[in-house]
Amino acid sequence: MATSFANFSASEPEPTVAQDYQDLKSTDMAEEGRKHFGRGLPPPQSALDRICPTSRLLLLVAGLCAVLSLLVIIMGTKGAQFGTAQQETWESLQSFNKTVSVGLSSLQQKRNSTSSRLTTLEQTLGREGNETEKIKKRLESLLAILHQDSNSLRCQLVELQSNGTEETKEAGGETNWRPWMEAKRDCEGKESHLIIINSPEEKKFVDELRRSAYMWIGLTDVSGTWKWVDETGYTVRSEDWGEGQPDHWYGHTLGGGEDCVHTYPDGRWNDNHCSRSFAWMCEKELKV
C-alpha cells in the first residue's frame, strides 16, 4: 500500500497583506469582545456583601443616626424641661422658705407681744392683789374694831346687870352639849375661854345668866392640882362645891378619875369625868 504524505508547507498559500489586516482586525475584535465580556460580569462578592449589601448598610447607619439624633433632641428637650422644672422647684422652695421665715418672724413677734402682755397682766394682777390684800386687812381691822366695840357694849350691859362687879367680862351663850375639852377649844376658837369664877359675886352673876342646870366651867385638876384655864391656881372652898365634892370618883367605869368641873342646878360645883357632855359658857376680858 502506497503511503502518501501531504506537503502542507508546499500546499499553504503565502499570507497576503489583506489577510494580515483581516487577522489583525479579528484579533482586535476578539480583544474588544473579551474586554466587553469582562466588564459585563460582576466581581466576586464576599459573604458580608451577600448578607447585608452596602446600600442597605448605609440605610441602616443612616436610620441609626437619625434615631440617635432624635434621642439626643428628645433628651435635650427633656433636660431643658427638667432644668426648667428644677428651677421652678428651687424658686418655689425659696418662696416657701421665705414664707415660713416671715410666718415664724410673725409668730415670734406675736409671742413677744403676748409675753409682754402677760407680764403686764401679771404686774397688774400683782398690784391689784396687793391692793386687795390691803383692803382685806383693812376690812379685817374694821371688823375687829367693830367686834371689839360690840363686845365692849355687851360687857357694859353685863356690868350694868351685875351692879358694878369688879371684873367686867363677856358671858358666852350655850350650845349643844360637848365634853369639857371640846367646850374649851370652842371658846378658844372665839378668842375667849371657859368661864372663870373668881368671886362670890361673879358666881352669883353666872348662876343668873346660865340657862342650863349642868354647865362646864374652866376649872380642872388634870395636872394634879386645881387650876383655872388661864393657869391661875384655885384653893378648894367647901361653899363652892356640892356635898362631898370634889371626890375624884372612879366608879363610873370610864377610866381614870374625875378632873373637870361643872355646875349643879343649885349653882354649886361637882367634879366629873371630862368625857361627859354638858353645856358650857365662854368669857372674854374687856379691853377698854
Read off the pLDDT of each residue in 192-221 and give the average, rounded to a whole number.
89
- pLDDT at 179 > cutoff 60: yes
pLDDT confidence of residue 20: 56
Read off the pLDDT of each residue in 255-275 and give the average, rounded to a whole number.
91
Mean pLDDT, all residues of the chain = 76
Q: Which residue has the higher pLDDT, 122 or 30?
A: 122
pLDDT confidence of residue 252: 81
pLDDT confidence of residue 170: 38
| pLDDT band, very low/low/confident/very high, at 4 (cuts 50, 70, 90) | very low
| Residue 219: alpha-carbon gap to chain centroid | 59
| pLDDT band, very low/low/confident/very high, at 23 (cuts 50, 70, 90) | low
Burial tier of 201 (Cβ tally within 10 Å: 0-12, 13-18, 19+): middle
**What SS3 class is residue 68?**
helix
- Residue identified by cell 356640892 is 242
Read off the pLDDT of each residue in 9-21 and give the average, rounded to a whole number.
51
Q: Which residue has the higher pLDDT, 264 or 167?
A: 264
Give the closest residue to 205 by CA, choosing from 163, 146, 254.
163
Read off the pLDDT of each residue in 154-164 and give the average, rounded to a whole number.
53
Mention every residue, 6+ apart, whose C-beta is less than 8 A from residue 196.
217, 218, 219, 228, 229, 230, 232, 283
CA–CA distance, 24 with 30 (Å, rounded to integer): 10
- pLDDT at 236 > cutoff 60: yes
pLDDT confidence of residue 53: 61
- Segment (H or E) for 170: strand 169-171
Residue type, 174: E
Residue type, 28: D
| pLDDT band, very low/low/confident/very high, at 232 (cuts 50, 70, 90) | very high
Domain ranges of the chain: 170-285
pLDDT confidence of residue 37: 45
For 170-285, CATH gives: 3.10.100.10
* Residue 38 backbone phi and psi in degrees, to 5: -65, -35
Q: What value, to the nearest 5°, has the Cα angle with vertex 262 and ends 261 and 267?
A: 125
CA–CA distance, 153 with 150 (Å, rounded to integer): 5
CA–CA distance, 230 with 284 (Å, rounded to integer): 11
Give the closest residue to 254 by CA, choosing from 192, 183, 179.
179
Q: In this structure, what C-alpha cell is assigned to residue 259? A: 378632873
**What SS3 class is residue 260?**
strand
Q: What is the pTM of this model?
A: 0.43
CA–CA distance, 277 with 37 (Å, rounded to integer): 161
- pLDDT at 136 > cutoff 60: yes
Burial tier of 106 (Cβ tally within 10 Å: 0-12, 13-18, 19+): exposed
Nearest 10 degrees: Cα torsion 249, 255, 275, 214: -20
| pLDDT band, very low/low/confident/very high, at 52 (cuts 50, 70, 90) | low
CA–CA distance, 64 with 69 (Å, rounded to integer): 8
